[in-house]
Amino acid sequence: MANKYKIAWLPGDGVGVEVMEAAKLVLDRVELDAEYIHGDIGWEFWCKEGDAFPQRTIDLLGSVNAAMFGAITSKPVKTAEQELVPELQGKNLVYRSPIVRMRQRFDLYNCLRPCKAYPRNPLNYKEGIDIVVFRENTEDLYSGVEFNTVPDQLRDVLAELSPAFKAFKHLKGDEYAISCKINTRKGSERIVRAAFEFARKFNRKKVTVVHKANVVRATDGLFFETAKTVAREYPEIKMDDANIDAMTMWLLKNPFNYDVLVAPNLYGDIISDLSAQMVGGLGFGCSANIGGKLGVFEPSHGSAPKYAGMYKVNPIATILA
């Protein structure tokens, strides 16, 4: 007899708990032969342990075939500090989103978000929409390289190397913040290739690259140029591109013009939520985080604290995941 699948079960915060309950009912009904192993993750563990993604959960994810994830709560830096138990306050602990850490720790670079209008769903924007979003999942503005207070040495280096930064040189370190947008050639190449491979396998006719290279020339320029290089290996698949701001307009106006979309992390997050709304809302927005050795499956919505415990949130996204 083959060994059972081992699935890490990570309910997390808020409505994550109840939508995962619904998913478990479906999995039990179809009699999936799997062992579900609970893992601790989320705001509760940040508050009482100072770590929303404890090492024991990291170890668990390293030992399973896949994971199901509900949702997590994230709050601003000062609020996160204030909600720690008293004995952990003042110890310079910094909250980082556990799902972002998970994606980076296990190199879950491919965030796959299908957005399909299921027949007779009264919330469909238009019947027949069938879009698949490929979102780079480990880089870009979600890299986690941030400075809530900017050190003087960083300010001085930026002022020396970047003429544009001189406009900010006069500011004190606590008067501004920096979040670094980091895009690599490797990260760009593999997510674009994943999109084209999907298009080839499932007979999709077009891949649209979403960027803002006309303004964000360095990072988005790298992403777009890499995409054009990869596209040459798939001559049977049409490639076009759109700026992220225009993309939101065109996607609403002409959703049937689009098939597969691929984008850096932040833009992929934006267009996948928009696409989900066109097929019924985030309650239909499922998501897969895929790497070389692990897949983590989740709804694309957050923890929605105001609805926690009310069983009002649509669990279909979790079931589809």
Residues in the chain: 321
Mean pLDDT, the chain, integer: 95
**C-alpha–C-alpha distance, residues 100 and 319, integer Å:** 22
Q: Residue written as tokens 């390289």?
A: 145
Q: What is the pTM of this model?
A: 0.94
Task: Evaluate if residue 85 carries a pLDDT over 90.
Answer: yes
pLDDT tens, 184-240? 999 999 999 999 999 999 999 999 999 999 999 999 999 999 999 999 999 999 999
Taking only the tens place, the pLDDT of each residue in 162-179 is 999 999 999 999 999 999
Angle (CA) 119 194 205, round 5°: 55
- Confidence category of residue 4, pLDDT binned at 50, 70, 90: confident
pLDDT in tens, 36-68: 999 999 999 999 999 999 999 999 999 999 999
Half-sphere exposure of 95 (CA within 13 A, CB side): 26
Please state the rounded mean pLDDT for residues 290-319: 94
Residue 1: per-residue pLDDT: 45
Q: Which domains does the chain have, with CATH numbers?
A: 1-108+291-321 (3.40.718.10), 109-145+180-288 (3.40.718.10)
Over residues 3-25, mean pLDDT: 95
Q: Given a cut of 80, is residue 293 above it in pLDDT?
A: yes
Structure tokens at 84: 């720690």
% of the chain surpassing 70 pLDDT: 99
Spatial CA neighbour of 262 closest among 113, 91, 63:
113
How high is the pLDDT of residue 77?
Answer: 85
> Which residue do the tokens 């579900």 mark?
36
291 is written with which tokens?
């790497």
Q: Quick: pLDDT tens for 250-283.
A: 999 999 999 999 999 999 999 999 999 999 999 9
What single letter denotes the amino acid at residue 35?
E
- pLDDT band per the 50, 70, 90 thresholds, residue 3: confident
Is 2 a residue whose pLDDT tops 70? no
